[in-house]
């Protein structure tokens, strides 16, 4: 299989192969474009060669201006060449393309402009030397390879003054050199083509680091949109449950309570059914209210974190020292994350910490919302043990926040969360 692969690779670079001629056309077509920058410089200084300082400065400025004006068209033509011959698309650069040619005159601080000039004035001319070498090699190979036919067609009077044997050896040597050139040139053309395509992609396309940075920013923006959309959907469900199912349950529990208190002449078993239905309706109403608070408490949107967290602290069966300073208010998404983090942290304290008291601080420090939940419990909290800490960390990371927990054996346990308020 290896020998078959090598044979196929060699045939793909044979002198008569399509690949060889495609590479040759590509590198040869790039020579005039790659030398255009220096041709502009050469033509100006050849047509006019000033001696005094002022004309020299004027010509220098004119040369720089013409090269800058030609940078955008040359770049566009190079990209078209890559696409037309190789099918390689070089994306445009947001900070360089799209303007008028003379906009380059005022973009001298643009890194993209300097990368383009680096290609047109340095890398491109060097690659053009390779393209000229490929074209010359093809020509020399064709001439030397056909030297035998040329020598045979020469009249005997004009043949070199050599013996027949020497002439045969010379002809064979020259034809062998031509054959070697014809065999080697496709490989050289392939190497120059790869170098040219990589240089064009690296210098005439978007910078990889900048492109990755833009992509990260785009993904961060999309993730923030998804988080905001999820929060909006939770609030919609909360409103629907509050205004729909909860009101129906309240009405049902009210009617069952009235029936339980006012009906005297019903059989005992029927009254038992009414009492049981009334209790189940109240339990369902309690569960629904808990679910609504877990989705998105209305008090959080209406009155902010201080009031919402005060409600949580009031329901915890432990002394909770709460301090909230969040002026100005953060975005609704960040407030929702902060609310659920504190709520889940307090739930974990009640379930696992065996603590006597809890301290909660929510402070805004510039562009960061700092949350601290500390207890005097037994410690040893480990996210890997399924105490809900993994879910907390995941929720915090959804808005590019940081989550840290310190919980040595024996306590105390401190959960520290930082949430960016710029969202």
Q: Tell me: the pLDDT tens digits for 318-338? A: 888 988 888 888 887 788 888
Q: At what angle do helices 268-295 and 246-262 cross, to 10 degrees?
A: 150
When pLDDT is cut at 50, 70 and 90, the band that residue 158 belongs to is very low
When pLDDT is cut at 50, 70 and 90, the band that residue 285 belongs to is confident
pLDDT at residue 7 greater than cutoff 60 = no
The owner of tokens 């569960």 is: 287
Q: What are the strands of the beta sheet with 413-420, ordered from one edge?
A: 320-325, 358-365, 368-375, 413-420, 402-406
Give the residue from 101, 108, 88 showing the smallest Cα distance to 199.
Answer: 88
Q: Tell me: the pLDDT tens digits for 376-391? A: 888 877 766 655 677 7
The C-alpha atoms of residue 175 and residue 149 are separated, in whole angstroms, by 10
| Domain 303-420, second-level architecture | 2-Layer Sandwich (3.30)
Q: What is the mean predicted confidence (pLDDT) over 242-247?
A: 68
Q: Are strands 320-325 and 358-365 parallel, antiparallel or unpaired?
A: parallel
């Amino acid at each position: 299989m290896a020998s078959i692969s090598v044979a196929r690779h060699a045939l793909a670079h044979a002198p008569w192969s399509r690949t060889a001629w495609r590479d040759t056309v590509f590198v040869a077509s790039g020579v005039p474009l790659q030398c255009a920058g220096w041709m502009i410089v050469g033509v100006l200084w050849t047509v006019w060669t000033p001696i005094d300082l002022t004309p020299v400065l004027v010509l220098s400025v004119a040369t720089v201006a013409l090269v800058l004006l030609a940078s955008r068209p040359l770049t566009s033509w190079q990209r078209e060449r890559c696409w037309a011959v190789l099918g390689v698309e070089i994306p445009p650069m947001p900070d360089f393309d799209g303007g008028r040619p003379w906009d380059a005159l005022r973009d001298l601080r643009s890194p993209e402009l300097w990368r383009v000039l680096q290609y047109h004035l340095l890398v491109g001319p060097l690659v053009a030397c390779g393209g000229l070498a490929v074209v010359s090699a093809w020509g020399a190979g064709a001439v030397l390879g056909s030297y035998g036919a040329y020598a045979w067609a020469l009249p005997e009077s004009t043949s070199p003054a050599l013996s027949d044997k020497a002439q045969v050896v010379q002809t064979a040597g020259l034809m062998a050199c031509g054959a070697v050139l014809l065999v080697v040139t496709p490989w050289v053309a392939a190497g120059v083509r790869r170098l040219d395509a990589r240089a064009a992609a690296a210098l005439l396309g978007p910078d990889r680091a900048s492109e990755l940075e833009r992509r990260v920013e785009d993904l961060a923006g999309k993730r923030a949109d998804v988080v905001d959309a999820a929060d909006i959907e939770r609030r919609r469900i909360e409103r629907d449950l509050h205004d729909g199912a909860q009101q129906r349950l309240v009405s049902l529990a009210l009617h069952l309570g009235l029936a339980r208190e006012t009906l005297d002449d019903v059989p005992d078993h029927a009254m038992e059914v009414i009492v049981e239905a009334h209790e189940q309706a109240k339990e369902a109403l309690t569960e629904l209210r808990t679910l609504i608070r877990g989705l998105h408490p209305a008090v959080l949107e209406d009155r902010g974190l201080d009031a919402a967290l005060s409600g949580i602290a009031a329901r915890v069966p432990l002394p909770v020292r709460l301090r909230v300073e969040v002026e100005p208010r953060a975005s609704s998404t960040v407030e929702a994350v902060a609310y659920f983090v504190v709520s889940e942290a307090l739930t974990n304290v009640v379930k696992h910490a065996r603590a006597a008291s809890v301290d909660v601080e929510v402070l805004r420090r510039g562009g960061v919302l700092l949350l601290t939940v500390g207890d005097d419990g037994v410690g040893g909290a480990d996210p890997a043990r399924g105490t809900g800490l993994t879910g907390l960390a995941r929720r915090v990371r959804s808005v590019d926040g940081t989550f840290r927990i310190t919980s040595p054996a024996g306590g105390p346990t401190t959960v520290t969360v930082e949430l960016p308020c710029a969202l």
